[in-house]
Structure 1
Amino acid sequence: MTSDIFVKWVRDWDRELNKKKKKILLLVDNCPAHPSVSDLRSITLVFLPPNTTSTLQPMDQGIIRALKSNFRKNLVLKIIASLEANKDACSAKNPKITILDAILMIYDAWNKLTSATISNCYKHAGFVRDSASVAADNDDGDIDDDVPLSVWARALNKGLPIGNEELEHYSTIDDDLVTCEEPTDENIVQNIIVNSQDSDDNNDVDGQEQNCTTPSVSEALKAAEVLTLFVHSNFEDDNMKSIMSQLHNAVRTSYYKNKKQKQSKITDFLQ
C-alpha cells in the first residue's frame, strides 16, 4: 500500500458515496501509507492510535488470518492437483503458479469469508459493548478455517516432502510482513534498477519465458459446456445451477459476438 493508491481510492469512494447521498465514518490504521485526505464530502476519516494493531484493529483480530488461511489452502489444493495431473517428477516438483492464479485464489479466499467472521473480529476489537456476545463468539474469527492445512497435506499421499511442522510454519510465515511503507526516493530508484536487471535476466533464459496466456473464446465455451453438465449432474442446489446457466450464456454470447466481428466470405460456405 502506498499513499498515492490510498488517496485515489478514498477520493473515488467518496465520489461514489456522494452520488448515493450516503455518509460514513472510515476507521483507518495509523501508518505512513495512510495520509490524511482533505475536502472529503461523504467520508469522515478517523485514524486509530499507533501501535495498537494486535489489540484494537479489527482486521488483525482474525480477518487477515482467515483470508491468508483460505488463500494458502487454495494454493495447496492447486499443488495437489498439479501432482496428480503430472506424473513426471520434474514437472510435479515445480507446479506453474501464475500471478493470475494468485489473484483468482485471493478473490476466492475473500469470498469465503463470512459476515459472521468479520462481525466477530469487530467484537473482539471492542466495537460492541455487549461483553456477553463477545464471549459467546470468542472463536478468534477462525470459523472459515475449519479444515487445517495438515488435512490437505495428508491428501498428498506423501507426494510433498514436508511435514506438519513445516506446514504450521508456512501458515504463519508472513504474519510480520510489512505491507505499508513510505518509500524513499533512493528505494524507488533502487527497485527500478533491480527490476530492470531481473527482467533482462529472465528474457535471456533460452527464451523460456512463462507467460500467462488467456484462453480463447472457443476454449472457454467448451469448458463452460463441460462445467454445466458437471454442475447439473452432481449438485441439487438450484441457485448454483442458475449461476452456472448465466455463466454459460455469457460465454456463449461472447463466442458468437466474437464470430460476428470476423466477416466471412461467401466462398467460405461453398467449400
Structure 2
Amino acid sequence: MNQTAPATLRSRLWWPSAAALTIAAAALGATLLLPRLFSDPVGVDPYVLRLTGVAIALAFVALVWSRFATVRPILLAVAAMTAAFSVFAGGPQWIENISGSRFDFNTQVLFASAAEALLTAVVAVLAVRTSPSTLRPLLRLRRFGPTALIATIVGVAVFVAVVMLLPATLLGREGIAPVALARDLPLQGPASVLQSFAQELQFRGLILGALDRVAPPWAANLGQAAFFGLAHIAVVYQGPGAAFVPVTIVLGFVLGWVTQRTGSLWPAIVIHAVADIAVTVGVIPGLYGY
C-alpha cells in the first residue's frame, strides 16, 4: 500500500507545506525574540504562552479555512509542540497552586509530563481525523517489527557508548551525588519517557509524517530536524546548554532517518528517552550547578 501521495500531487503540495513550516517557525521566532529587543530578558510572562497562542491561531485558521487543508497537519503539529510544552512548563506551578505542598517537584514534573503526552496524542488524533486522506500524517505507531527492534538496540548501544567515551567534564557528569540520582531517577525517568513520547509524536510523527506525504524523504527529514533544533533553541537550550543545539539537530535527523527506514516511531521514542534520561541526570545538573 502506497503511503505517500502520487508524484504529481507531491510536487504540487511540497511548497505549501514547506512554506507553512517556515512561516510558523518565523512567527514563533518573532514572538519569542522581539520582546527581547526591547529589554525584556525573559520574553513573555511566561513567554511560552505567547508562542502557544501564535501556534493555536495558525492551527485554528487551518481548521476553519478550507484553503489551508493541505497544510493542516503541519500547523497542527506546531500547535501540538508549543501547547504541549506550555502545559509541561507551567504544569508544576499549576499543580503546586492547586495542591499546595502535597507533591514534591519531581512528582509535579511527572504529572506535567503525562499531561504533555496526553495533549500531544489528542492533537495527533485531531490531525489524522481532519486531514485529507492523502495528507494524513504517517504516525507510524502500529508497527514494531524485527528491523525496528534491531534499530532500537543498536541505537541505544551507540548512544551509551558515545556518552561514555566523551570527557566527563564536557558532559557535566562530575559532581553528581549518587544520593541525588537515587532520589530523582524513579520519578524523572518515567517523566523523561513521557516527554520523549510527546516530542517524538510531535516531530517524527506529526511533522515528519506530514512532510513525508508531500516531499522526498531526505527533504522531509531535513525539515523536521531543523525545526526540532529551532524549537530547542527557543524553549530549552539557552545559556550553557546552547552548545547542545547542533547536537539536537543531528540527533533529530538521525531519529528521523531511523523512523523512515524502520517504518516505526518506537525506536526513536526509546532512543530519545535514553538520551533525555542521560541529559536530565548527568548533563543539565553539571552544566547549571544543581
| TM-score (norm: length of structure 1) | 0.23
The structure whose RCO (Cα within 8 Å, separation 6+) is larger is 2
| TM-score (norm: length of structure 2) | 0.21
Larger helix percent: 2
